[in-house]
Structures are given as C-alpha cells and as structure tokens.
Amino acid sequence: MAAASALSIFLLNGPIDQVLAQTTRQDRPVPLNQIARTTLLNHFASHPKSLNQLVKTFTVPEAYKQSRGIFVTLSRGGKTRACWGSVNAQEGNLVAATALACEEALTKEYRYPPIRKNELDFLKCQVTVIDRIEPVSKNATLNPMVDGLMVRSGGKGAVLLPGEARDPHYQVMQCKVKAGITPQEPCQIYRMRAHVFR
C-alpha cells in the first residue's frame, strides 16, 4: 500500500482548536478531561451507570460532533498510571470516545498496576485528541512538547503523546523501543498534531 493511501485513514477535517475557537463562552463545551474525570468517578461508584447511560448524561455540543482518535491518560504525581486510546476514531463523537477511552484505560491497561479507588483524589485526567497525522522525513525538525509521534515498521508500531518526551532524538528512540523496533531498523515516522485537554 502506498504511503499516501495508508495514511489517508488518519487525515481529519480541521483541527479541534479551530472548532472550539468558534464557540462562544456560554456555549463552551465541558472540557473533555472533565468528562474523563466523571467516567473515572462513575467506574468506582457503588452503583455505576453503564457507559451508554453515562454518555447520555452529557450534552454533545457541535464542537464535539466529530470522530477522531483519542487517548486518555490518568496520572498521579506526574507519573502515568494508565493510558489508553487509538489514533483511529472509535466513536461518533468526542464525548463517547473520551468515556470509552477512559473506561478502557481503567480495564484494559496492562503496563501498570490496576488503579484503586483510594487513588481517586490524586489522579489527574488528560485527554489527547488527534487532529492529524502526517509523515515526516528522517531529518525533519520535531517538537516533542507540542507534537506526538507514531512509528511503524511491518506489523509493529507505537505512539508517544505530546509531552511524553522532551528531546526529539529521545522521542524517536523511545517510540521505537515501545514498538519493539530496534534502533538500526528502518521505520516510517509520523508526526501527530493534537489538542490536549489537561
């Protein structure tokens, strides 16, 4: 498959920043990190709502009526406790996608010990919405504090979200290690433009 057609599934219609900038203050949607927080609290409630019931409690404003890849990161003291998501859209709107990614971070994350109820007061929710993914050349200038990174080689691949690395060289090397790609092995590198709700 040609690089352009392989990448076409990742290209999206306009950055979320532009959509959000068009909303007035009174119409401003609930930030996605607050939706993730509500999902987190619901997960540990004595009588939790189903994910579908929970999503219906939120109004889906125009700015969120779009399908995009989303990652939810739950951290404690600046260290990741769980992170889950996809570069591809999984739901029809950003509210449902955020709730799903948060629930999956709580139930499917295998790299860290399971999150416990007594951690709730210490956890911070971050939601990363993928605006677009674009191929970059080997010598391209990367800004890991602003852009995420995706690497692919054969059937292997991995993602580093914006801010997970401070140095461009480390960002590429860490992403390759995460994917199981050796430092000498060639790979396709993609820059991820994203909007982060903290």
| pLDDT tens per residue, range 32-58 | 999 999 999 999 999 999 999 999 999
Tell me how many domains the chain contains: 2
> What mean pLDDT is predicted for residues 178-194?
93
In a domain, 3, yes or no: no
Q: Is residue 187 situated within a structural domain?
A: yes
- Quick check: 26 pLDDT over 70? no
Residue 21 has pLDDT above 80, yes or no: no
Which residues touch 15 (CB under 8 Å, ≥6 apart)? 131, 132, 193, 195
CA angle centred on 110, ends 71 and 135, rounded to 5°: 40
pLDDT level of residue 18 (50, 70, 90 thresholds) = low
Same domain? For 35 and 89 the reply is yes
Residue 17 has pLDDT above 70, yes or no: no
Q: What sign results for the dihedral spanned by CA atoms 13, 147, 96, 31?
A: negative
- Radius of gyration for the chain, computed over Cα atoms and rounded to the nearest angstrom: 17
Q: Lowest-confidence range among 94-108, 128-142, 156-170?
A: 128-142
For residue 25, is pLDDT > 60? no
**For residue 173, pLDDT beyond 70:** yes
Query: Burial of 46 by CB count in 10 Å (0-12 exposed, 13-18 middle, 19+ buried)?
Result: exposed
pLDDT of residue 1: 31
The β-bridge partners of 85 are: 71
Greater pLDDT, 63 or 138: 63
Q: Check whether residue 147 and residue 120 sit in a common domain.
A: no
Same-domain pairing of 115 and 25: yes
Domain range holding 163?
A: 136-198
3-state secondary structure of 104: helix
